[in-house]
């Protein structure tokens, strides 16, 4: 079978169009990502996930979703209960470290119960950015706290809960989006502090979690490292910081190609993501013309990128067999006393 291409694609709605099926079959994305527009009711979500995998002939292909809790939760009530934000969990941690860590693990374990029922096997969680006062609210309450130690410990608990349930996490947004004074969905944030300050603060949670298998890049410029290009497309940031200083050897995917922090056409952005050293180009919105532009610039997985992708594929598990209702009851008990 032909090798998968180094990309993750979205789709336009709750069912695949004939054009989407044809594109997936011909271009062989490594995985897919779902958003709220794709998630209408339970049976439909399961059918959509299955049809995505059927189109590429890979029954265990990665299917991703951003199911963090708080304001970033793609599948919501009544299908899945509404979960608290990372900031709420972080406040519990500050009151009682053990309870905060346990609640964070439990919530991720519940995400796995919720999502695996649909065949979704990757959650783009945890957010381990460390915000500073005055930064853009694009991270805001998605962060566990304002100090690297809290963020690193909580992030690890979140990742471990997902893995216990048979899912895999994606740590984000490497090497750190916490200082961004702009929302990278709309414009390019520029961070001007020294590399020493970044290493002593922003990068620390990523160093602590460097052995996780997947990470998502940050569309953010660090002038002390590369004044010209955001991390997602910066060969210098990826080689010197992400692969070098942080020591991450997992699969690095871009943040969404269609976010306006990146300049140029969608095809030009995809080409620069590939050229900068990201392993996977992520494109989320399901717009067909944009997806066609992405696939033209994306290459088959080879070399280190293929090795990293294979490590991800080998790591999916069946879960720990715990009782969902017991986990849910324990989680709600912890949150009720916070």
User: Active-site residue 177, yes or no?
Assistant: no
Cβ neighbours around 57 below 10 Å, total? 12
Closest by Cα among 260, 257, 251 to 280: 251
Cis peptide before 189 (omega within 30 of 0): no
CA–CA distance, 22 with 38 (Å, rounded to integer): 18
Question: Would strands 168-169 and 122-123 be described as parallel, antiparallel, or unpaired?
Answer: parallel
Catalytic residue among 147, 160, 183, 185: 185
Q: Is the peptide bond between 56 and the residue preceding it cis, with omega within 30 degrees of 0?
A: no
The answer to whether 179 and 233 are in contact (CB under 8 A) is no
The yes-or-no answer on residue 185 being catalytic is yes
Distance of CA 20 to the CA centre of its chain: 23
Q: What values do phi and psi take at 174, rounded to 5?
A: -65, 135
Q: Which of 114, 123, 202, 255 is catalytic?
A: 255
Element (H, E) at 195: helix 195-200
Query: How many C-beta atoms lie closer than 10 Å to residue 223's C-beta?
Result: 13
How far is the CA of 183 from the CAs of 154, 155, 171, 177, 277, in angstroms? 24, 22, 19, 10, 23
Instruction: Please list, residue by residue across 22-33, b when 16 or more beta carbons sit within 10 angstroms of its beta carbon and e when fewer do.
Output: ebbeebbbbbbb
CA distances 159 to 155, 221, 254, Å, are: 6, 27, 19
Residues with a known catalytic role: 185, 255
């Amino acid at each position: 079978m032909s090798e998968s291409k180094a990309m993750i694609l979205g789709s336009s709605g709750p069912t695949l169009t004939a054009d989407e099926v044809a594109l997936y079959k011909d271009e062989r994305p490594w995985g897919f990502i779902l958003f709220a527009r794709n998630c209408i009711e339970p049976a439909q979500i399961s059918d959509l996930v299955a049809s995505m995998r059927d189109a590429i002939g890979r029954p265990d292909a990665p299917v991703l979703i951003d199911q963090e809790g708080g304001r970033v939760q793609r599948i919501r009530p009544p299908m899945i209960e509404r979960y608290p934000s990372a900031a709420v969990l972080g406040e519990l941690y500050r009151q009682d470290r053990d309870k905060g860590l346990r609640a964070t693990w439990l919530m991720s374990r519940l995400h796995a119960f919720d999502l695996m029922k649909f065949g979704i096997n990757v959650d783009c969680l945890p957010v381990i950015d460390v915000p500073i006062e005055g930064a853009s609210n694009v991270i805001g309450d998605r962060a566990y706290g304002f100090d690297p130690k809290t963020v690193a410990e909580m992030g690890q608990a979140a990742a471990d809960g997902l893995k216990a349930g048979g899912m895999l996490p994606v740590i984000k947004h490497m090497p750190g989006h916490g200082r961004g004074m702009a929302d990278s969905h709309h414009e390019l944030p520029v961070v001007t502090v020294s590399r020493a300050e970044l290493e002593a603060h922003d990068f620390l949670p990523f160093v602590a979690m460097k052995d996780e298998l997947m990470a998502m890049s940050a569309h953010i410029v660090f002038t002390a490292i590369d004044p010209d290009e955001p991390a997602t497309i910066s060969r210098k940031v990826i080689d010197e910081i992400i692969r070098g200083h942080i020591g991450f050897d997992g699969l690095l995917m871009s943040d969404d190609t269609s976010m306006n922090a990146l300049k140029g056409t969608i095809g030009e952005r995809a080409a620069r993501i590939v050229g900068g050293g990201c392993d996977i180009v992520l494109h989320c919105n399901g717009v067909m013309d944009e997806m066609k532009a992405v696939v033209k610039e994306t290459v088959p997985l080879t070399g280190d990128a293929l090795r990293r992708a294979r490590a991800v594929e080998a790591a999916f598990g069946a879960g720990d067999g715990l009782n969902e209702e017991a986990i849910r009851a324990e989680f709600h008990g912890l949150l009720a006393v916070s």
